[in-house]
A and B are shown apart, each in its own frame.
Chain A
């Protein structure tokens, strides 16, 4: 299976602090995406980084990708209570289809 793995499984921080989540995967990838899921609801796309990119920013999000270590990290700066959610990385393989393989997620709790 190409499923990724997030670390830590759960993270609890104070509002205003930064949150860092890591993702490791097993095979060569075309791109890696991060998604957010509020409790029991559908996933929402946050950011995509391609295999030839090393870092990408979007608002308070910063994603890095290290293909040699098969790992990625998602940094949320200046966290807010509304950032409380589960975060998943998803990898797309080298085939032509847009199949994504999701990790098991990091549950982030931001305490007001």
Chain B
């Protein structure tokens, strides 16, 4: 089954404790992206990747890091989480050219205390 998976689905952590949210896709997509979703603000892009070892900032990259060492994986790293990073996070993937449907993961609900 074609899918994007994220782990963990739910996470409660404390300020400053490094964490990683994993994202994996099995559709051989070159393009992957991370979004955060907050009430009243819609989805905002954090980082995206056009292919292995190619990453770029989205609209709200501060406080986040990503890596793309393999085509299927695109982890999101919070080196020192803060309460304002409490949010619902989505990973998405697609073929790279504009106009392609993006496939979304199920989401990771993160709470930073």
Q: Answer whether residue B12 sits at the interface, using C-beta atoms and an 8 A cutoff.
A: no
Number of interface residues of B (CB under 8 A): 33
Q: Is the CB of A41 within 8 A of B106?
A: yes
Q: Determine whether B66 belongs to the interface, using a CB cutoff of 8 Å to chain A.
A: no
Segment 60-108 of A: residues with Cβ below 8 Å from B: 88, 92-93, 95-105
**With A43-B90, A99-B48 in contact, do A88 and B102 touch (Cβ < 8 Å)?**
no
Q: How far is the CB of A18 from chain B (nearest CB, A)?
A: 24
| Contact A104-B42, Cβ < 8 Å, known A45-B102, A92-B99 | yes
Q: Which residue of A lies closest to B91 (CB)?
A: A42
Contact residues in B for A100 (Cβ distance below 8 Å): 45, 102
B2 within 8 A of A: no
Residue from the list B58, B95, B104, B107 in contact with A99, Cβ < 8 A: B58
Cross-chain contact B43 with A88 (CB below 8 angstroms)? yes
User: A103 near B48 (CB under 8 angstroms)?
Assistant: no
In the bound complex, residues from chain A placing their C-beta under 8 Å from that of B45 are: 99-101
B90 nearest in chain A by CB position? A42
Contact of B106 among A31, A42, A93 (CB under 8 A): A42
Distance in angstroms from A48 CB to nearest chain B CB is: 7
Contact between B101 and A97, CB atoms less than 8 A apart: no
In whole angstroms, how far apart are the Cα atoms of A102 and B50 in the complex? 19
Question: What 0/1 pattern do residues 84 to 113 of B give for CB contact below 8 A with A?
Answer: 000010101011111111111111010000
Chain A residue with the shortest CB-CB distance to B3: A42
- The smallest C-beta distance from B39 to any residue of chain A, in angstroms, reads 9
CA distance A1 to B88 in the complex (A): 21
- A6 nearest in chain B by CB position: B42
Verify if A28 is at the interface (C-beta below 8 Å from B): no
Question: Known: A41-B106, A41-B107, A43-B90. Contact between A98 and B100, CB under 8 A?
Answer: yes
Q: A50-B99, A102-B44 are in contact. List 10 more A-B contacts (CB 8 A).
A: A31-B98, A31-B99, A42-B104, A43-B92, A43-B102, A48-B99, A48-B101, A92-B98, A99-B45, A101-B45
| 9 cross-chain pairs, A with B, having the tightest CB-CB distances, nearest first | A42-B104, A104-B42, A102-B43, A45-B101, A92-B98, A43-B104, A31-B99, A102-B42, A42-B106
